[in-house]
Amino acid sequence: MPNFFHTAARAMSVASIFILVVPASLPAAHASPIPNFTLHTVANIPLHGRATRFDYQSYDAGRHLLFIAHLGDSSITVFNTRTQKVTADMAGVSKVHGVLAIPALSRVYASATGRNEVVAIDEATLKVVAAIPGGDYPDGMAYVPPAHKLYVSDETGGTETVIDVRSNQRVATIPLGGEAGNTQYDPASGHLFVNVQTRGDLAEIDPATDRVVARYRLPGADHNHGLLIEPDGRWAFIACEGNAKLLVFDMQSKRVVATEPVGNTPDVLAFDPSLSLLYVASESGVISVFRIARNAVRKIVEAHVAAKAHTVAVDSGTHQVYLPLENVDGKPLLRIMQPAF
């Protein structure tokens, strides 16, 4: 993609980092132009603990709480987005990778990968109320409300662990035939989709039977790990760690319809539905931003933010973007950014 942005960031101050000028020749089939799109830093919040790796995040909009997996410290940072303060640090969640807030249950689930288990946390007290076997290297998670089930990617074990959230018991283990990447629920179909990253395919699971009912080849995929399904079920976005590509998967035709370059080793994706913006974070520190339309997906800007800025979350109410950074001048911090037009 041509270099349509200008970077003007200062590490610890409020500064615009993306400015896009869209060429007049933009094809009509693409998403609507955003002639003066910017994404600027509004705050850098110091975080507790050591300058070690972060992983997944999950946001409870009703409580204004962002849960951040501080993997390297085996803790979960709880950040209040309204007061912009850290309210708690939950220690003892061994090598925590995945974290998922389920507001309807007033519960947070986290994959304690160091102990190969999934822990259930009471959101009001922030106390662990259950520990459930999670397979071999539990990672990402997805919740299927109609089935009252939590699905956990057992990455190196090559399975999907199924947990009944009513009893907090493991009720099934689904073989995938390869390493499990991220897992996402599609409300439109009522089915679950899992990246099988060593096979280069996408597995579809029926929660009624806990069986793989279909597999879809992903041409161009190399270690397809990251996965996000648009809320209305039109598109799935698949981040491929091995070749720095974002695959756009049409959920109706069940095929890859576009491939876009992103930063090296893309990881976590986040979507702001009201602005139709998709954020792709990568291990290289590059953030790619896409505009989503009914008939097209277009990259609108891309730039380096900070080293290892590989995890991203969005508050769709305020449109603020959250990037926990493990080491800025020897300390961890949470960079908060805001899009503007």
Q: What is the pLDDT of residue 35?
A: 62
Q: Please choose, from the candidates 235, 231, 233, 234, the residue with its C-alpha nearest in 3D space to the C-alpha of residue 260.
A: 235
List the end-to-end C-alpha distance of the chain, in Å, as a whole number: 21
Could you tell me the mean pLDDT of each successive run of 10 residues in the chain, 341 residues long? 32 33 31 69 97 98 98 98 97 98 98 97 97 96 98 95 98 97 96 98 98 98 97 93 97 96 97 96 96 88 92 97 97 95 79
Q: How far is CA 222 from CA 199, 229, 238, 258, 285, in A?
A: 9, 19, 10, 15, 20
* pLDDT value of position 293: 86
pTM passes above 0.85: yes
d(CA 332, CA 171): 38
Can you tell me which residue has the tokens 């909009």? 61
Q: Could you tell me which residues come within 8 angstroms of residue 325 by beta carbon, excluding any fewer than 6 positions away?
A: 54, 306, 307, 308, 309, 332, 333, 334, 335
Beta carbons within 8 Å of 46's beta carbon, 6+ residues apart: 331, 332, 333
Question: Tens digit of pLDDT for each residue in 144-180?
Answer: 999 999 999 999 999 999 999 999 999 999 999 999 9
Q: Measuring CA to CA, which residue among 316, 278, 276 is closest to residue 66?
A: 316
**What's the pLDDT at 7?**
33
